[in-house]
Amino acid sequence: MEVPDPGEVLDVAVSDDGGVRVLRLEGELDMAGVDQFDHLLAADRPAGTTTFVIDLRGLTFIDSSGLRALIMADQSVRQEGMRLIVVRGSDRVNEVLEMTGVAQRIELVDEPPVP
């Protein structure tokens, strides 16, 4: 099993369009990046936001804290009556989602929805 590069960090690009907040993740979603992810999910979102899209296509690694952050984000968004969609990432990331059962707990798609 390949060990992730400890120097790689999480980069998150956030965009809002037509009630959809998109977070494009690049790098590693691990303990070091979870706080940033959580903050950007909800920070300064425009009124009228109804859908969140988490794009994992640029993610190279996810650990248990990252998996937990995805599950908690899904629960939080649903409790507010909104929708969370996760775009599948690399084979490596998708394998972790499948093996841990997270893939069955969240809404996974191959391509981001078009607003």
Mean pLDDT by 10 residues, the chain (115 residues): 58 93 96 93 88 96 96 95 96 96 95 80
**What is the pLDDT at residue 14?**
94
**What is the pLDDT at residue 114?**
75
**What is the pLDDT at residue 7?**
52
In the chain, domain spans: 12-109
Which of 52, 49, 12 has the alpha carbon at shortest distance from 32?
Answer: 12
pTM of the model: 0.89
Which of 16, 26, 85 has the alpha carbon at shortest distance from 60?
Answer: 26
User: What is the CATH code for 12-109?
Assistant: 3.30.750.24
